[in-house]
Structure 1
């Protein structure tokens, strides 16, 4: 029997795209025969996963999980919305979110964590699901919020199942106040975030390049009025306040009452429960955002298939 070295396993992985543990098992089953191991993986359907790896996966699920002062959100992608309704896929996304509660929010580390009762890592479990379900899938991103004291609340918009949907939000509240009341406020703020799409928590957190670009546009607009530069500067600052109200969470008008800024809502709630509250952070994940989807011409595809073999 040939020695099953790390380089041999690596070579098999490069040939098939299968997971490390599957490659080790294939080489063991075939006494170290590389080509035999390729065939073994193909028969198990595992090598087929590599062929699907290049296909765009922009559907799937956003999953959230919380535990006391910690919350996590992950995005797991598939090629079609149909797979997002698959119970196995949903169970996988939920478990990954739960595992993301521990650790430091590092995506690579999470992928190498063991998937329960499978004898495989999370990354290898994805490979198995690709082979079984027949679509490309991937664990795209992860975020984690932790507070010293208080609560981390979550909200999923249009949930397909508990804590699973297409928009997932986490909100961390630092406070010594009653945890149930904090969760009540946190969920309402999370619902606001889902609807209002803030980009930053505080004015100080606004991306400097985005702010410079906005200031430049506003200045050019103001100059078109023909007013003096000192007046233009005041006009720009006034319009920047409006910009902050659009992109900064604490400066936004609370969608639930339509009157107060979120900052004021938090202050009023703190008085109500008798303890200061600080919004420590938030995360808003929208399924597939930033992924360039393939535009297909269905009629052209049908025509191409009809011409095959002519």
Structure 2
């Protein structure tokens, strides 16, 4: 991790132990407060990030299935989002979170996975090999080529990951940070388990083309 000269790793760890917030969030909070840990704690609490990570390992088996149909009924989303108790699942804040996330999924056509951790290793390796073979990297030294390819792949993975998307209703935070805020607000672990996006007519054109090709091949073979 690259640490700002004014912010020590020890300070970041100290803030993390006191708040339970993620290392990156702690680093940003300390930088914003010029190293003042008390102000950093206050800022993390205001953002709802303090103590969120401490709850992230707890079992979340309750929750709800939320749906969203975009205007015109051409895009639909189904989402399963979990919390620890039925009580929290009935809270307006939790239900609004579910609605916001379904709208986010509808708006982000590139998103295919909940998080980068859900992306198969085989896909990541395939993307890396594609990048390594691109014309603009062929003549570069192996080490530089690898770093550039890795950076491009990382960017691609973020595009596919819901948790890495910037929240469309509040551009200063990601979906991951939005979820953490609600973990702190509601006092329970919250997990986005799975989702499915439906696009009207998706796949029909390619199936028709396959059928047309199949018929053409049959005619030509006679």
Structure-2-length-normalised TM-score: 0.57
Number of the residue aligned with 2:78: 170
2:164 to 251, 254, 269: 251
Number of the residue aligned with 1:182: 94
Q: Is the 8 A contact 1:170 1:282 kept in 2?
A: yes
2:104 to 186, 192, 195: 192
Shift of 1:263: 1.1
Structure-1-length-normalised TM-score: 0.42
Aligned residues: 144
Task: Note the 1:60-99 alignment, pairs <5 A.
Answer: none
Question: In 2, distance between residues paired with 1:202 and 1:236?
Answer: 20
Shift of 1:278: 0.7
1:229 to 115, 135, 142: 142
Question: In 2, distance between residues paired with 1:284 and 1:222?
Answer: 34
Change in CA separation of 1:208 and 1:222 when aligned onto 2, cut-off 3 Å: farther
Shift of 1:273: 1.7
Could you say which structure has the higher helix fraction? 2
Question: In 2, distance between residues paired with 1:267 and 1:222?
Answer: 41
Could you say which structure has the higher strand fraction? 1
Number of the residue aligned with 1:58: none
1:249-280 alpha-carbon deviations (Å, 9 max, x no partner): 11222222223221111111211222211111
Number of the residue aligned with 1:267: 180
Number of the residue aligned with 1:73: none
Q: Is the 8 A contact 2:62 2:89 kept in 1?
A: no
Question: In 2, distance between residues paired with 1:191 and 1:217?
Answer: 32
Question: In 1, distance between residues paired with 2:178 and 2:134?
Answer: 33
Q: Is the 8 A contact 2:159 2:165 kept in 1?
A: yes
Q: Is the 8 A contact 1:196 1:255 kept in 2?
A: no
Change in CA separation of 1:222 and 1:278 when aligned onto 2, cut-off 3 Å: farther
Higher relative contact order (CA 8 A, sep 6+): 2
Please report the RMSD computed on the Cα atoms of aligned residues, expressed in angstroms: 2.4
2:195 to 279, 282, 306: 282
Structure 1 spans left out of the alignment, 5+ residues: 1-146, 160-164, 296-310
Classify the secondary structure of the residue corresponding to 1:280: strand
Shift of 1:157: 0.3
